[in-house]
């Protein structure tokens, strides 16, 4: 019997929404400030998964320029009905302080790979929107409603309103159908109809170590909803020995063979607390008990790292190559940019054939126009390598290899030009917004010619290296501790994992370019204990 090994989507892939269309299974996950928006993974057996599509791939669908850290695309919902895919998503413009500016949209496509439509605006009353297709043909939008008022429960309940497909808008009254349980922080609603009941699945406890899945049901769509007597249905809370922590924010799928699986958010702390890889996605096998409640196969309510696979033919995919030589006309699926799409104005794969050219723009503190291309770190031990050709003329021109969490937390092996030394290599970092230079003196290197750069990550430690052309690797500085590249490292809440990539800045405004010949991302382990 095949086994599902969790997490099935490793690295930063939170808030899974799972759906089946025929023999194909898809999971949509949040992307926050990273572009393109929403990751859709595909499987035919629930064991093997591949990144298939990022549907929000143009400014008209998603313009995040100026969005802050951990803003952007929160908790998408992917559904399929009558030959059409529906994708609901939030573009969070700000989540600072008491307020949250949360704009919810809908796009559709007849084919999962697109083209995806222009967005239909829905509402802004809260986040985690979800679309339910009732068996009478009517469609309903659910979301949590945010209550900013003092002395109020900020998570103000799950609300529902009808969506008119013919009119392309919400119609009728807004009704609160669920106010949550004593666990609190009620969000992430998904609605299903099974055996004559409406089942409402919500996330509770907050998206950290008290996270949980709550199930409630009602005979009528508008309720009243009865809470599962064994609530929570799934949680890691109070069980620090589990590999999968933060279990919550779930959605359901039924296979052709009548087996039920729950996709849920999880995380793997690197040191017992800090999750440098971000929040991930796992699957659990479920069943409906004699009383009609959803239960985990094997009993209890704790997530399992290994789960029995469904009775489906195995369907593996070709593994992603470790090396990208930048020979194609477009960036590969693994690559992401910050807030806005790659544009020939600052990124080119054609100006110098076989190279990725980045034109330096704003600083790593910017929420507007960064020239940065990165991919998720998906296991604890990795090597990342690139070669750069870059001839800076002053200290305001920088380029190199970076481990990036957000504008406040990163570690950067950069090349620049100093007045007394010429071209140099060194490390700069930001920890919670505090800038630092990690070497007493930058290392002088030849004024021209290619330089190889490498990062070796061993769980919570990072070592950088460089080499001039084909010479041996030389370490740059000491090992760095990188726990600040995690969700837990700083308050208030933040939600993205570590990325590794390449970037260029030109703070003088002349857009000095850097050319990268290749990029290697090598995982040094497959499954971590």
- Which two tokens mark 456? 């070796």
Task: Identify the DSSP state of 228.
Answer: P
- Which two tokens mark 315? 């369907």
The dihedral sign for the CA sequence 483, 488, 489, 493: positive
Please identify, among 257, 285, 308, the residue that sits at the C-terminal boundary of a domain: 308
pLDDT at 1: 58
How far apart, in whole angstroms, are the C-alpha atoms of residue 31 and residue 60?
A: 17
Residues in the chain: 529
Q: Are 89 and 105 in contact (CB under 8 A)?
A: yes
CATH code for the domain of 385: 2.60.120.200
pLDDT at 120: 98
The average pLDDT across 279-283 equals 98
* Dihedral angle over CA of 22, 25, 31, 35, nearest 10: -60
> Across the chain, what does the average pLDDT equal?
97
Q: How confident is the model at residue 526 (pLDDT cuts 50, 70, 90)?
A: very low
The average pLDDT across 154-178 equals 97
Which are the contacts of 151, defined by CB distance < 8 A and separation ≥ 6? none
How far apart, in whole angstroms, are the C-alpha atoms of residue 55 and residue 175?
A: 30
Q: What DSSP string runs through 154-213? A: SEEEEEEEEEETTTTEEEEEEEEEE---TT---EEEEEEEETTEEEEEEEES-SSTT-EE
pLDDT at 110 over 60: yes
Annotation says 81 is catalytic: no
CATH code for the domain of 268: 2.115.10.20
Domain membership of residue 529 (yes or no) is no
The average pLDDT across 158-183 equals 98
pLDDT at 490: 87
How far apart, in whole angstroms, are the C-alpha atoms of residue 439 and residue 88?
A: 47
pLDDT digits (tens, 9 = 90+) for 417-453: 999 999 999 999 999 999 999 999 999 999 999 999 9
Indicate whether 175 and 217 sit together in one domain. yes
Q: Are 497 and 376 in contact (CB under 8 A)?
A: yes
pLDDT more than 90, % of the chain: 97
Backbone angles phi, psi at 488, to 5 degrees: -85, -5
How far apart, in whole angstroms, are the C-alpha atoms of residue 409 and residue 339?
A: 17
pLDDT digits (tens, 9 = 90+) for 294-337: 999 999 999 999 999 999 999 999 999 999 999 999 999 999 99
Domain membership of residue 528 (yes or no) is no
Indicate whether 240 and 370 sit together in one domain. no
- Which two tokens mark 201? 């699945």
Q: Are 429 and 365 in contact (CB under 8 A)?
A: no
Indicate whether 373 and 411 sit together in one domain. yes
pLDDT at 5 over 70: yes
108 class by beta-carbon count within 10 Å (0-12 exposed, 13-18 middle, 19+ buried): middle
Tokens 């989540």 -> residue: 95
How far apart, in whole angstroms, are the C-alpha atoms of residue 377 and residue 399?
A: 20
Structural domain total, the chain: 2
pTM: 0.97
pLDDT at 274 over 90: yes
Domain membership of residue 317 (yes or no) is no
pLDDT at 492: 78
Q: How confident is the model at residue 527 (pLDDT cuts 50, 70, 90)?
A: very low
Paired sense of beta strands 226-227 and 234-235, if any: unpaired
How far apart, in whole angstroms, are the C-alpha atoms of residue 121 and residue 272?
A: 41
The average pLDDT across 186-212 equals 97
How far apart, in whole angstroms, are the C-alpha atoms of residue 107 and residue 129?
A: 13
Indicate whether 176 and 224 sit together in one domain. yes
| N- to C-terminal Cα separation, the chain | 22
Paired sense of beta strands 84-94 and 72-81, if any: antiparallel
Please identify, among 254, 278, 308, the residue that sits at the C-terminal boundary of a domain: 308
Domain membership of residue 314 (yes or no) is no
pLDDT digits (tens, 9 = 90+) for 180-190: 999 999 999 99
pLDDT at 234: 98
Indicate whether 176 and 242 sit together in one domain. yes
pLDDT digits (tens, 9 = 90+) for 224-235: 999 999 999 999
* Dihedral angle over CA of 318, 11, 473, 400, nearest 10: 110
Range of the domain at 371: 323-523
Which are the contacts of 167, defined by CB distance < 8 A and separation ≥ 6? none
pLDDT at 529: 41
**What b/e sequence results for 125-139 when a residue is b if at least 16 CB atoms lie within 10 Å of its CB, and e otherwise?**
bbbbbbbbbeeeeeb
pLDDT digits (tens, 9 = 90+) for 465-481: 999 988 999 999 999 99
pLDDT at 528 over 70: no
Catalytic-labelled residue, pool 187, 204, 385, 506? 187
Indicate whether 249 and 370 sit together in one domain. no
Task: Identify the DSSP state of 118.
Answer: P
Indicate whether 263 and 124 sit together in one domain. yes
pLDDT at 525: 67
Domain membership of residue 85 (yes or no) is yes
Domain membership of residue 316 (yes or no) is no
Indicate whether 261 and 375 sit together in one domain. no
- Which two tokens mark 256? 């052709």
Indicate whether 328 and 304 sit together in one domain. no
Domain membership of residue 448 (yes or no) is yes
Domain membership of residue 315 (yes or no) is no
Indicate whether 299 and 396 sit together in one domain. no
Neighbours of 435 (CB within 10 A): 11
pLDDT at 372: 98
Please identify, among 308, 331, 354, the residue that sits at the C-terminal boundary of a domain: 308
pLDDT at 470: 86
Indicate whether 334 and 431 sit together in one domain. yes
The average pLDDT across 136-150 equals 97
Annotation says 226 is catalytic: no
The dihedral sign for the CA sequence 107, 52, 144, 94: negative
How far apart, in whole angstroms, are the C-alpha atoms of residue 89 and residue 56?
A: 10
Indicate whether 347 and 460 sit together in one domain. yes
């Amino acid at each position: 019997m095949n086994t599902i090994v969790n997490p099935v989507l490793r690295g930063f892939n939170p808030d899974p929404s799972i759906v089946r269309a025929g023999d194909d299974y898809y999971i949509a996950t949040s992307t926050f400030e990273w572009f393109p928006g929403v990751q859709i993974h595909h499987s035919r057996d629930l064991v093997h998964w591949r990144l298939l599509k990022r549907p929000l791939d143009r400014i008209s669908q998603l313009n995040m320029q100026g969005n802050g850290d951990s803003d952007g695309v929160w908790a998408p919902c992917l559904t399929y009905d009558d030959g059409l895919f529906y994708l609901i998503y939030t573009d969070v413009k700000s989540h600072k302080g008491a307020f949250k500016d949360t704009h919810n949209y809908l796009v559709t496509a007849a084919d999962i790979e697109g083209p995806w439509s222009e967005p239909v605006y829905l509402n802004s009353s809260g986040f985690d929107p979800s679309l339910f297709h009732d068996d009478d043909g009517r469609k309903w939008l659910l979301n949590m409603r945010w209550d900013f008022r003092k002395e109020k429960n900020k998570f103000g309940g799950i609300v529902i309103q009808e969506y008119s497909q013919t009119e392309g808008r919400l119609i009728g009254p807004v009704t609160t159908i669920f106010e949550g349980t004593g666990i609190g922080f009620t969000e992430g609603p998904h609605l299903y109809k099974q055996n004559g009941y409406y089942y409402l699945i919500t996330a509770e406890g907050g998206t950290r170590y008290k996270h949980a899945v709550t199930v409630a049901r009602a005979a009528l769509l508008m309720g009243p909803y009865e809470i599962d007597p064994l609530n929570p249905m799934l949680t890691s809370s109070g069980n620090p020995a589990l590999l999968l922590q933060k279990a919550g924010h779930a959605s359901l799928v039924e296979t052709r063979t009548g087996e039920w699986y729950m996709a849920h958010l999880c995380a793997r702390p690197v040191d017992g607390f800090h999750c440098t890889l971000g929040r991930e996605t796992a699957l659990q096998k479920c069943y409906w008990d004699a009383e009609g409640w959803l239960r985990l196969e094997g009993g209890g309510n704790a997530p399992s790292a290994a789960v029995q696979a469904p009775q489906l033919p195995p369907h593996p995919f070709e593994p992603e190559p470790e090396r990208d030589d930048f020979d194609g006309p477009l960036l590969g699926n693994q690559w992401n940019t910050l807030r806005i799409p790659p544009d020939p104005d600052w990124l080119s794969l054609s100006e110098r054939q076989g190279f990725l050219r980045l034109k330096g723009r704003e600083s790593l503190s910017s929420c507007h126009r960064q020239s940065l291309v990165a991919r998720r770190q998906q296991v604890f031990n990795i090597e990342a390598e690139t070669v750069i050709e870059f001839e800076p003329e002053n200290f305001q021109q920088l380029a190199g290899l970076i481990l990036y969490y957000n504008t406040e937390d990163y570690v950067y092996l950069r090349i620049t030009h100093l007045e007394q030394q010429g071209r140099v290599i060194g490390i700069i970092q930001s920890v919670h917004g505090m800038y630092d230079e990690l070497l007493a003196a930058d290392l002088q290197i030849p004024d021209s010619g290619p330089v190889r750069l490498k990062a070796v990550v061993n769980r919570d430690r990072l070592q950088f290296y460089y080499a001039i052309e084909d010479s041996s690797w030389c370490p740059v500085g000491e090992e760095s501790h990188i726990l600040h590249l995690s969700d837990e490292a700083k308050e208030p809440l933040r939600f993205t994992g570590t990325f590794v990539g390449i970037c260029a800045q030109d703070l003088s405004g002349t857009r000095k370019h850097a050319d990268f010949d290749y990029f290697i991302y090598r995982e040094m382990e497959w499954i971590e204990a």
